Amino acid sequence: MAVAGDERIDVPRGLKGVVVTTTELGDVRGTEGFYHYRQYSAIELARTRSFEDVWFLFVHGRLPAAEERAPFAAEIARLRVLPEELRPVLRSIAMAGERFDPLAGLRTALSLIGAARNLPPLWESAPQRRAADALLVGAVTPTILAALYRIRAGAEPVEPREDLSTAANWLRMVTGKEPGPAAVAAIERYLIATIDHGFNASTFTARVIASSGADLVSAVAGAIGAFSGPLHGGAPDRALEALDEIGSPERIDSWVRGRIAAGDRIMGFGHAVYRTEDPRAVMLAEIAGELAEHADAQGLELVEFAAAVHRRVTGILAELKPGRELHVNVEFYAGVVMQLCGIPRSMFTPTFTASRVVGWCANILEQAEDTKIIRPIARYTGPRPPRPVPSA
């Protein structure tokens, strides 16, 4: 409701459904169970294109021609190498704290790179410099995350290879092993499907910071902070932990009903936008089924158990919360797929981050074209202040 003589407008909690700007990067159509990058279905791109092709789309606004693929991949490969200014301190970053926090380490490492390379404020930099900084951050992020993990685990970091794709490099740098084609294909589809997803909390955070004219790394670091929350990107491992807690098919109903009765959220179900099944979850469920065909007995059991939990949770939620439209989301099957591909649980959310950083950077560059700072207001509900004394 607008207030006379003021510009205050009441909006829903969490800005739900509020349009705050325009974008050419993509959109999420929650009632249809569909989302797209530019004019292309994101899921179709994940099924038919490489991660590098879709990255090119976010950078240049179109899919690459055949002759453009190799030069773009070569440019990314050159930028993947761990920066020299980071190498002397990477061990200290990785070993900080009693609990390994790869996203905190990534924020620190990127901030150091930004400071060492004097990344200029977006407000003062040319579009070509912004684009170069964005490509560097997107390319080096997976290398940093994988190196932090391996150092913390007591192993040496694995240098990226120029002849491998982003997905293949990620698996190799994290696990230290040559990845099989099925795992590479699965992770590549996951990475493509999670590059961007509308104005979620981390993307909006990145754009708010970018609107202030700050440097690109500051905006990415803010996005990482928002993404680390368990209500946002930090949920794939928690969804798999729920499967561990349930333990067996006969405990599904009692566990789910107990959680709902206690008012707890069931990780991996429900979404802020979708009123259908998350299309990313649908694709990941298919990928899990494909991986199960080549998995050992333990992997096959995991996929079958996840499917059983999916069916029962959906049914119980429909029974106990009619009309809420609480369906499976991307986190539920993401954890299953990543575990089948050999990625440790502590690296589930970092895997998500390795792709989403490309989307953050694209949003930051788009926001940098707008000179208006994002500056909402809050409605004050504290103790009543004294009335101002009119001036004489």
Tell me the three state secondary structure of residue 239.
helix
CB–CB of 232/226 below 8 Å? yes
Burial classification of residue 108, based on how many CB atoms lie within 10 Å of its CB (0-12 exposed, 13-18 middle, 19 or more buried): buried
How far is the C-alpha of 3 from the C-alpha of 46, rounded, in Å? 47
For residue 37, what is the DSSP state?
E
Q: How many residues can be counted in the chain?
A: 392
How far is the C-alpha of 107 from the C-alpha of 223, rounded, in Å? 9
How far is the C-alpha of 133 from the C-alpha of 364, rounded, in Å? 11
How far is the C-alpha of 195 from the C-alpha of 358, rounded, in Å? 6
For residue 88, what is the DSSP state?
G
So which residues are the catalytic ones?
A: 271, 331
Burial classification of residue 185, based on how many CB atoms lie within 10 Å of its CB (0-12 exposed, 13-18 middle, 19 or more buried): middle
3-state helix, strand, coil in the chain (%, to 5): 60, 5, 40
